[in-house]
Amino acid sequence: MTIQHLDHFTVRTAKVDETADFFRDAIGLEEGWRPAFPFPGRWLYAAGRPLVHIANLESSGAELDLYLGARAVGEGGGALDHIAFRCSDLESHRQRLLDLGLRFSERVVPDLSEHQLFVEDPNGIKVELIFADSPKAR
């Protein structure tokens, strides 16, 4: 067996609109088609691939629990430190976060030639945006 890539991650939240807005506006994903699951939610895409699945905690109840399994709010995500996206156009993404008034931190990893931005979604999930580093980017 060979792992090819991260397929998607799912966020169970009562903050569906805020979460979708964050991943669309701050991260740059596009909202798109979602199968007719028996519970409400939204999917966000990059390059035609659905990367973020959002499941609505407030209005899904038994249907969500039957489909994905019962889980208390906040359970399971505590061990998750962050989610990372490989990106291009550091300046554009940095300006996008500034324009939205979102606080973020930056770090350069010289050994990897990477420039990283870290921002939190409305649920407190840390999102890392990874860019190729260059002296111009600093």
Please give the torsion angle defined by the CA atoms of residues 112, 117, 120 and 126, in that order, rounded to the nearest 10 degrees.
0
Domain of residue 65 covers 9-137
Checking if the pLDDT of 13 tops 90, the result is no
CATH assignment of the domain containing 95: 3.10.180.10
How many helices and strands (H and E) does the chain possess?
A: 3, 8
- Average pLDDT value for residue range 88-99: 94
Hey, what are 133's tokens?
Answer: 């580093």
Checking if the pLDDT of 30 tops 80, the result is yes
**Calpha distance 112→133 (Å, rounded):** 9
Please give the torsion angle defined by the CA atoms of residues 95, 96, 100 and 102, in that order, rounded to the nearest 10 degrees.
-70
- Average pLDDT value for residue range 114-129: 91
User: pLDDT per residue over 36-75, tens digit each?
Assistant: 888 889 999 999 999 999 988 776 677 777 777 776 665 5
Residue 4 is assigned to a structural domain of this protein? no
Checking if the pLDDT of 81 tops 90, the result is no
What pLDDT, on a 0 to 100 scale, did the predictor assign at position 22? 96
Residue 75 is assigned to a structural domain of this protein? yes
The model's pTM is: 0.82
Hey, what are 7's tokens?
Answer: 């397929």
Instruction: Report CA torsion sign: 88, 12, 5, 116.
Output: positive
